[in-house]
Amino acid sequence: MVKKILYSLAAASVLFLWSCATYQPPPPSLHIENLPSEWVSQLSLDQRITVEDAWESLRLGNTSKAEKLISRLGSQSPFYHAGLGYAALIARDIGSAEYLFKTAAENFPEMPLGFIGLAQVYLERRDLENAFSSLRRVLKTYPDHPWAKPRFENIRTQKTDELLDEAKTKRATGNMEASRQAYLQALYYSPESIEAHVALAGIFIEAKNYETAIVHLKTAAEQEPDNLDIQKLYADTLFRAENYKESLEAYEAIQEEEPENTVVQERLQTLKNRLGIYELPSQYESISQSEAVSKEEMASLLAVKFKDVIDGAGDSPPIIIDISTSWATKYIIQVTSLGLMDVNPNHTFQPKRAVTRAEMAEILFRLTEGLKSRGINFIQQIPVSQIEITDVSPDNFYYQPILTMISYDIMTLASDKTFKPDLPVPGTEAIKHLNIILALIR
């Protein structure tokens, strides 16, 4: 009788110990992610029942039963490694859990189970960087995930604040490289951090690495378009980098907000001078409608269209006595200084006089010769030996320029092989000739 009682007690003890080994309630902090319906729906009915029973067993802490059920699914199942990972996590086998969740994440990166499990492994280890990375992968597919999003935001805020404080401390002590690294790490957690972008820009500006500074300032300026301090720093850095066109655009936007700012006005004028930008008068816009392009119109076309490839006025501007009332005075001075157009021996330019086709050929010839001296090549399209001009003789002053322009196919002969040298040149034709040359040199 006593033996029976002892056997009964021993059996009860074994059952109790077995029960304890089988059921290990998950810690309250453990999150067992719900089965994603879009993945479950792809299973057969038997598989669906099996995986749902396995997940229920995990929630109850019955890891033995959960593992048996999961093994039925096979290792190809999207729930296999994640399920076993949860079982390992409940059993506090963190190393195995990490391996299993990593496998699940690698095999099925669009499913949240592996990454959520990994995030919990890393949170357990206080490895916030890897936890953050895993949570970010979850949010890539599920932007409003109720478990992942608040934890992601908490880590981001904590790490960003820590790194910004560290960066400022390092910079204050003169350790610019450590400060730069800390700011860059802060951007890993908060790519939109205005403080980090502006601070990094300052570090790169001090190192005269303007191009990299511009990248950070552009991001900051786009995020805070109303912050004029950032906009001014961005515009100034573009100027330092000799990115004059974009700097001009940035300063023009600032001027709209601060029209009385003399510093901005001076910088705008400097930029326009360097870019060769003119405030074009209304007469320039009407050149295309001119039946006979005048010398002042031709001068303005040359100066404006070739502002990027010809220098400004020469060292010794010629004396011209009849252009003070011309709207194109500054253009005339520029092109005559460069020798593209002539001043008469009596110091007149005759700005209103129409340009003939022969004179146009001479102007274009001087322009192309000047460009050739700068290393720009022009290739003959028509051999000169095949060109016959019936109304301009070889001893004509304009013969060589006319022949050259025809060989370059910039100007053409009429069907009867006449050039008609004394005809005036319409505005549209003058513009066409210059545009041909621009196209050839670009």
CB crowding 297-333: b at 16 or more within 10 Å, else e: bbbbbbbbebeebbeebeeeeeebebbeebbbbebbb
Which of these, 197, 175, 174, 171, lies nearest to 184 by C-alpha position?
197
- The whole-number pLDDT of residue 218 equals 95
Instruction: Based on the fold, state whether residues 303 and 235 are members of the same structural domain.
Output: no
pLDDT of residue 282: 82
118 and 178 share one domain: no
CB-count exposure of residue 108 (10 Å: 0-12, 13-18, 19+): buried
pLDDT band with cut points at 50, 70 and 90 for residue 20: very low
Q: Any idea which of 117-131, 267-281, 389-403 has the lowest mean pLDDT? A: 267-281
Exposed, middle or buried: residue 51 (CB in 10 Å: 0-12, 13-18, 19+)?
buried
pLDDT of residue 431: 96
Average pLDDT over residues 212-216: 96
Distances (CA, A) of 232 to 246, 255, 277: 12, 10, 21
In this prediction, residue 16 carries a pLDDT of 37
Half-sphere exposure of 387 (CA within 13 A, CB side): 26
| Shared domain check, 266 and 134 | no
Domain that holds residue 437: 298-441
- The answer to whether the CB of 305 falls within 8 A of the CB of 324 is no
What is the DSSP code (8-state) at residue 356?
B
Contact of 334 with 303, CB cutoff 8 Å = yes
Q: What is the DSSP letter of 389?
A: -
**Which secondary-structure segment (H or E) carries 1?**
none
In contact, 387 and 407? CB cutoff 8 Å = yes
**Closest of 86, 433, 172 to residue 293, by C-alpha:** 433
Instruction: Tell me which residue of 32, 26, 27, 28 sits closest to 116, measured CA to CA.
Output: 32
Q: Are residues 402 and 326 in the same domain?
A: yes
CA distance 49 to 70: 11
Kindly state whether residue 282 falls inside one of the protein's structural domains: no
> How many angstroms separate the Cα of 413 from the Cα of each of 385, 423, 439?
15, 13, 21
353 and 437 housed in the same domain: yes
What 8-state DSSP symbol labels residue 334?
H
Strand partners, 354: 294
Q: Is the torsion defined by CA of 332, 338, 341, 346 positive or negative?
A: positive
User: And the tokens for 233?
Assistant: 């720093």
Question: Rounded CA gap, 74 and 50, in Å?
Answer: 11
With a cut of 50, say whether residue 21 has pLDDT above it: no
DSSP H stretches of helix in 306-426: 329-337, 357-372, 399-407
Backbone angles phi, psi at 330, to 5 degrees: -65, -30
In a domain, 165, yes or no: no
17 pLDDT band (50/70/90 cuts)?
very low
Looking at the 3D structure of the chain, how many domains does it have?
A: 3
Q: Are residues 131 and 198 in the same domain?
A: no
Are 203 and 80 contained in the same domain? no
pLDDT of residue 310: 67
Closest CA to 437 of 411, 399, 398: 411
- 38 and 128: one domain? yes
User: What's the CATH number where 246 sits?
Assistant: 1.25.40.10
Same structural domain, 263 and 369: no
Query: Is 162 part of any domain?
Result: no
Same domain flag for 139 and 220: no
136-152: pLDDT as tens digits: 999 999 999 999 999 99
Place of tokens 């992610």: 33
The pTM assigned to this predicted structure is 0.59
Could you tell me if residue 151 is inside a domain? no
Is 338 in the same domain as 378? yes
Question: How close are the terminal C-alpha atoms of the chain, in Å?
Answer: 111
pLDDT digits (tens, 9 = 90+) for 167-205: 999 999 999 999 999 999 999 999 999 999 999 999 999
**In-domain check, residue 98:** yes
Looking at the fold, whether 436 and 302 belong to one and the same domain comes out as yes
Question: What is the pLDDT at residue 272?
Answer: 84
Using DSSP's 3-state secondary structure scheme, residue 93 falls into coil
Residue 194 forms part of a structural domain: yes
* DSSP assignment string, 296-324: HHHHHHHHHHTTTTS-SS-SSPPP-SS-T
pLDDT of residue 312: 53
Measured CA to CA, the distance from residue 319 to residue 114 in angstroms comes to: 83
Task: Please determine, for residue 314, whether its predicted confidence score (pLDDT) is greater than 60.
Answer: no
Q: Token pair for residue 184? A: 């860059």
CB atoms within 10 A of CB 8: 10
Per mean pLDDT, which range of 14-18, 42-46, 103-107 is the poorest? 14-18
In contact, 98 and 114? CB cutoff 8 Å: no
Query: For 107-120, what is each residue's pLDDT tens digit?
Result: 999 999 999 999 99
Tens of pLDDT, residues 23-61: 667 677 799 999 999 999 999 999 999 999 999 999 999
- Report if residue 368 sits inside a domain: yes
**290 in a domain, yes or no?**
no
